[in-house]
Amino acid sequence: MAVLVSGVSRKSAESITNRSTALGFAWDPLDLAAWPDDRWAGFLGKLFPDGQRPRSAKKWGVLRTIAKEVARFADETTFQAAFFDGKAKGSDLNGDDIKRISDKWLPFIRQTNAQYIVRNMGGESIKYDRWLNELVRYLAVSTTDLETALKAAGLSLSLFDVVVWAYCEAKVQRVAEFATHFDALLT
């Protein structure tokens, strides 16, 4: 999912997710890996009857590639060993796992998407998306300083991330308006 929604608005991500699900998309990677080529082509033809843009085609191809990579593992324990150093609980995931995932060189999965994956699995992580990157710039702090301050205050990194994202999506809406919005709140 991280691959599909990277670089698109929440509304677009929701739309493509709903349309895909309605057309029977297999969100389970093992199911998706088992789809024969004709089923895959048929699904994409229904989802994009007027054809796909190159970036969209690449993203959907990557989803199938990742599903096949996941399906290579004999069982969940073997997968967890390779991707998460054997950790089975999402709450145990952390920065080490972000690095481990991004170092796997899966298409589209680098630092930011690895942060998103760890956070969505229950690990402690901030996904430095457009809003968090803008917040760091606005506050003139490093990502390390931000995370250190949040931990010192006893705040969950993942919760902070989601709250900032939700607030900015609802109230700020455009990165170009970030500083103006928060300047007005502080005056």
Considering 86-90, 93-97, 167-171, the range whose residues carry the highest mean pLDDT is: 167-171
Q: Which of 9-13, 134-138, 158-162 has the weakest average pLDDT?
A: 9-13
Q: Mention every residue, 6+ apart, whose C-beta is less than 8 A from residue 60.
A: 4, 44, 52
Phi then psi for residue 119, to 5 deg, are -60, -45
Residue-wise pLDDT tens digits, 32-50: 999 999 999 999 999 999 9
d(CA 135, CA 149): 14
pLDDT of residue 95: 86
Domain boundaries, the chain: 1-72, 74-125, 130-186
Query: How many other CB atoms are found less than 10 A from the CB of residue 51?
Result: 9
Runs of H (alpha helix) within the chain: 2-5, 10-22, 29-34, 37-47, 54-71, 76-84, 95-102, 111-120, 130-139, 143-152, 157-167, 178-186
pTM above 0.85, yes or no: no
Examine the pLDDT at 2 and tell me if it is beyond 80. no
pLDDT at 152 over 90: yes
What pLDDT, on a 0 to 100 scale, did the predictor assign at position 86? 87
In the predicted structure, residue 81 carries a pLDDT above the cut 70: yes
- Summarize pLDDT for 111-126 with one digit per residue, the tens: 888 888 888 888 888 8
Distance CA 160, CA 143 (A): 13
Structure tokens at 27: 């969100």
> Tens digit of pLDDT for each residue in 50-62?
999 898 898 899 8
Residue 60 CB neighbours (<10 A): 21
Residue 61's closest CA among 42, 44, 39?
Answer: 44
Do residues 92 and 61 lie in contact, with contact meaning Cβ atoms separated by under 8 Å? no
- As a whole number, mean pLDDT of residues 157-174 equals 92
